[in-house]
A and B are shown apart, each in its own frame.
Chain A
Amino acid sequence: MPIDREQVEHIAALARIALTDAEKEAFARQLSDILDQFEVLQTLDTAGVEPTAHVAGLDTVLRDDEPAESLDAEDTLLNAPRRRGDLFQVRAVLDE
């Protein structure tokens, strides 16, 4: 299935990745090549086949609801690119 430049821009927007013009060209070509490899799946009849969730069949794993220590604020913020006091600092989310 061929992917054009417009579709690449749509996917990049979904994935929140800015792309250069050169990247858009390359990805359109490469993603088309890769999707061609996927066509083989359409030749398999999978009507009524259950999709795989866990390979060993684990299902709805529950644990006891026991309080435990979690990371303290300093550790949590240790790798924050920008912080203000004990808070992560982010850009404005709402328009003025």
Chain B
Amino acid sequence: MSTPAASDLWQLSVAEASRLLANREISSVELTDACLERIAAVDDRISAYITVTADIARQQAADADRRIAAGDASPLTGVPMQIKDLLCTNGVATTCASRMLAEYVPVYDATAVARLREQGAVMLGKGNMDEFGMGSSTENSAFFPTRNPWDTSRVPGGSSGGSAAAVAAGAAPFALGTDTGGSIRQPASFCGVTGLKPTYGRVSRYGLVAYASSLDQVGPLARDAADCALILQAIAGHDPRDATSLPDPVPDYSAALTGDIKGLRLGVPREYFAEGMDPGVRATVTAAIDQLAALGAEVREVSLPTTEYALACYYIIAPSECSANLARYDGVKYGYSYQDDGRGDVDMWEAMERTRQHGFGPEVKRRIMLGAFALSSGYYDAYYHKAQQVRTLIRQDFARVFEEVDALAAPVSPVTAFPIGDRTDDPVRMYLVDVYTLPVNMAGLPAMSVPCGFSDGLPVGLQLIGSHLTEGHLLNIAHTYQQATEWHQQRPGIPHRGR
């Protein structure tokens, strides 16, 4: 492959950029400038970024070029990235797309961010998202919605919608997102990029602004599985600052990409093809599973009978944890604080209630209220305790199936990207978009979204689900599929300004 023109460098994958940087055929400064120009050219129509950190990016790129020249490079040295605005970045505003944290500037990096910085990755800016990660469309950002690069009248999915849209639009070679109920996989599916939610505890949650701590996990969004392997390699591993992070050693994920899945036992859970599914999604995902069979997988139908309970289970447990976690926003230590302009007519409790009234958006309030209710006296046993028991049954369901098969294949979402505004007035209809991603979080499993085709011109994602700590295995299935298909290489033609 010849070296691409400087203005086209934004099109490079992470692996391609890494190789060209290491061979000193391109510089990180050139690559970073190309990405910043791409952001300037398209982000007025996509709105994938809350903050663009151009000066920091150029500085980090120059540092990376010096490291490469000194022979001190890692695979991600000099490669630009976007960071979801839910992950703390030292000295750079971390808003969580909330009025509550609109001016919050962390004094430390999230561990995942710190590990990427140590590798010399270059931060282009912070990605838009649903407020505090609560949503499925990025319409719950307090600032502005992000638009799907494939059709700018539609949502990019959520909550990591800015991350998925940026990668799809070429406005970042990769992005770091978070997934609590599908927030990496569902936007990856809607935007036609590859996303990985690691096993719960595989990546440290330190510096991830907490939403639902037993479910939250950091992971990559990129063009393909090989890129996700490089990024996961950098961020995975135990962290003494997160007691729930797993002590297990981190394998070589790129070495797992053998391109061979002969004899793989692949389960297809029948409950993930229920009524109400978009027929185009069904046909596309079914064709992808057929292709995996042609590549050597032994496909068999399996059953996960608790699937229908996962939605209710999630919308009790996640809001309960949310109501506890977000109790910290009291207007005292950091964040928005209601002020009475010195009149002194508002007491401490009222100031706190008004801080939370004005600082939080509707969906965040809805989930705090739901959680406060599920945890309240008289309802705790019927809701929260019951949901935690059902969660055990969901985990047992998966454990039983993984005795028979090595991995599961299913749709990411029953639908493709929907029009902006289509579901905002009906929370239950919005929640149903994540019906096939939530069970994975309940069980803490690793899962991916892999582009597998289009329905009416909109991307469809194939979901691959594995048992705990089988990320290498999932990445290899995705990689093998991507070696045989070109869906992940399709790029949207973003309409010109003023259209």
Interface residues in chain A, defined as those with a beta carbon under 8 Å from any beta carbon in chain B? 3, 7-8, 11-12, 14-19, 23, 26-27, 30-31, 33-34, 37-38, 40-42, 44, 46, 49-52, 54-56, 58, 61, 63, 71, 75-76, 78-82, 88, 90-93
Query: Can you name the residue of chain A whose Cβ is closest to the Cβ of B393?
Result: A49
Contact of B373 among A11, A37, A52 (CB under 8 A): A11
* Complex-state Cα separation, A79 to B337, whole angstroms: 11
CB <8 Å contact, B240 and A18: no
Contact with A along B343-375 (1 / 0, CB 8 A): 000111111111011001010011011101100
Asked if A78 meets B105 with Cβ closer than 8 Å, knowing A11-B369, A15-B323, A17-B368, the reply is: yes
CB <8 Å contact, A17 and B357: yes
Q: Which of B83-104 contact A (CB under 8 A)?
A: 103-104
CB <8 Å contact, B246 and A58: yes
Contact with A along B100-117 (1 / 0, CB 8 A): 000111011000000000
CB <8 Å contact, A81 and B332: yes
With both chains docked as a complex, state the minimum distance between the C-beta of A83 and any C-beta of chain B, in angstroms.
10
Q: How many A-B residue pairs have CB under 8 A?
A: 159
CB <8 Å contact, A27 and B312: no
CB <8 Å contact, A44 and B105: no
* Complex-state Cα separation, A11 to B365, whole angstroms: 11
Q: Is B279 an interface residue (CB 8 A)?
A: no
Contact-residue size bin, chain B (C-beta under 8 Å from the other chain): 35 or more
Residues of B within 8 A of A12 (CB): 369
With both chains docked as a complex, state the minimum distance between the C-beta of B452 and any C-beta of chain A, in angstroms.
27
* Complex-state Cα separation, A92 to B346, whole angstroms: 10
- 5 A-B pairs with CB atoms under 8 Å apart are A11-B369, A40-B309, A42-B386, A58-B201, A71-B107
* Complex-state Cα separation, A44 to B313, whole angstroms: 12
Interface residues in chain B, defined as those with a beta carbon under 8 Å from any beta carbon in chain A? 103-105, 107-108, 199-201, 214, 240, 243-244, 246, 306, 308-309, 311-313, 315-316, 323, 327, 330-337, 339, 346-354, 356-357, 360, 362, 365-366, 368-370, 372-373, 376, 382-383, 385-393, 395, 427-428, 431, 442-444, 468
Knowing that A11-B369, A58-B243 touch, tell me 10 more A-B residue pairs with CB under 8 angstroms.
A15-B369, A17-B368, A19-B357, A27-B366, A31-B369, A41-B312, A49-B392, A51-B391, A58-B246, A91-B351
Contact of B372 among A15, A33, A90 (CB under 8 A): A15
Residues of A within 8 A of B373 (CB): 3, 7, 11, 31
With both chains docked as a complex, state the minimum distance between the C-beta of B93 and any C-beta of chain A, in angstroms.
10
Residues of A within 8 A of B347 (CB): 91-92
With both chains docked as a complex, state the minimum distance between the C-beta of A27 and any C-beta of chain B, in angstroms.
6
Asked if A54 meets B387 with Cβ closer than 8 Å, knowing A14-B376, A17-B353, A41-B312, the reply is: no
Residues of B within 8 A of A18 (CB): 350, 353-354, 356-357
* Complex-state Cα separation, A88 to B335, whole angstroms: 13
* Complex-state Cα separation, A94 to B90, whole angstroms: 36
Residues of B within 8 A of A41 (CB): 309, 312-313, 316, 386-387, 390
CB <8 Å contact, B246 and A11: no
With both chains docked as a complex, state the minimum distance between the C-beta of A48 and any C-beta of chain B, in angstroms.
9
CB <8 Å contact, A16 and B390: no
Residues of A within 8 A of B382 (CB): 42
Residues of B within 8 A of A38 (CB): 312, 315-316, 383
* Complex-state Cα separation, A88 to B330, whole angstroms: 12
Asked if A56 meets B246 with Cβ closer than 8 Å, knowing A15-B368, A46-B389, A88-B332, the reply is: yes
* Complex-state Cα separation, A23 to B360, whole angstroms: 13
Residues of B within 8 A of A49 (CB): 389-390, 392-393
* Complex-state Cα separation, A86 to B368, whole angstroms: 32
Asked if A51 meets B385 with Cβ closer than 8 Å, knowing A15-B368, A79-B334, the reply is: yes
With both chains docked as a complex, state the minimum distance between the C-beta of A8 and any C-beta of chain B, in angstroms.
7
Contact of B386 among A46, A58, A75, A76 (CB under 8 A): A46
Contact of B390 among A34, A44, A71 (CB under 8 A): A44
CB <8 Å contact, B393 and A44: yes
Of all A-B residue pairs in the complex, the 4 with the closest CB atoms, nearest first, are A55-B444, A81-B337, A51-B388, A79-B334
Contact of B427 among A34, A51, A90, A91 (CB under 8 A): A34
With both chains docked as a complex, state the minimum distance between the C-beta of B439 and any C-beta of chain A, in angstroms.
12
Residues of B within 8 A of A78 (CB): 105, 107
With both chains docked as a complex, state the minimum distance between the C-beta of A23 and any C-beta of chain B, in angstroms.
7
* Complex-state Cα separation, A27 to B376, whole angstroms: 17
CB <8 Å contact, B428 and A33: yes
* Complex-state Cα separation, A76 to B240, whole angstroms: 21
Residues of A within 8 A of B327 (CB): 16
CB <8 Å contact, A40 and B308: yes
CB <8 Å contact, B348 and A27: no
Residues of B within 8 A of A26 (CB): 362
CB <8 Å contact, B333 and A79: yes
* Complex-state Cα separation, A15 to B352, whole angstroms: 10
With both chains docked as a complex, state the minimum distance between the C-beta of B23 and any C-beta of chain A, in angstroms.
40
* Complex-state Cα separation, A29 to B128, whole angstroms: 29
Residues of B within 8 A of A90 (CB): 332, 348
Residues of A within 8 A of B353 (CB): 16-18
Query: Can you name the residue of chain A whose Cβ is closest to the Cβ of B369?
Result: A11
